[in-house]
Amino acid sequence: MKVDKASMLLYAITDRAWLGDNSLGEQVEQAIKAGVTIVQLREKHLDFEAFVKQAKEIKKVTDRYKIPFIINDNIEVALACNADGIHVGQSDMTAGNVRSLIGEDKILGVSAQTVEQAILAEKNGADYLGVGAMFSTSTKLDADAVTFDTLKAICTAVSIPVVAIGGIGEHNILKLKGSGIEGVAVVSAIFAQTDIFAATERLTALANEMVEV
Q: What is the pLDDT of residue 138?
A: 66
pTM score, two decimals? 0.96
The catalytic position among 5, 16, 56, 140 is: 140
Give the containing element (helix H, strand E) for 152. helix 148-157
Q: What is the pLDDT of residue 7?
A: 96
Q: What is the pLDDT of residue 22?
A: 87
The catalytic position among 7, 59, 99, 111 is: 111
How crowded is the C-beta side of 128, counted as CA atoms within 13 Å? 29
Q: Kindly give, in sequence order, each residue whose CB lies less than 8 Å from that of residue 37, ignoring residues fewer than 6 positions away.
A: 6, 7, 8, 9, 10, 11, 67, 183
Distance CA 134, CA 5 (A): 20
Q: What is the pLDDT of residue 141?
A: 64
Domains, the chain, ordered by start: 6-211 (3.20.20.70)
Q: What is the pLDDT of residue 91?
A: 81
pLDDT in tens, the chain (213 residues): 788 989 999 999 999 988 888 899 999 999 999 999 999 999 989 999 999 999 999 999 999 999 999 999 999 999 999 999 999 998 867 888 999 999 999 999 999 999 999 999 999 999 999 999 999 866 666 667 899 999 999 999 999 999 999 999 999 999 999 999 999 999 999 999 999 999 999 999 999 999 986
Does 23 qualify as catalytic in the annotation? Answer: no
Q: Kindly give, in sequence order, each residue whose CB lies less than 8 Å from that of residue 22, ignoring residues fewer than 6 positions away.
A: 30
Q: What is the pLDDT of residue 143?
A: 62
Does 111 qualify as catalytic in the annotation? Answer: yes
Does 5 qualify as catalytic in the annotation? Answer: no
The catalytic position among 5, 16, 23, 42 is: 42
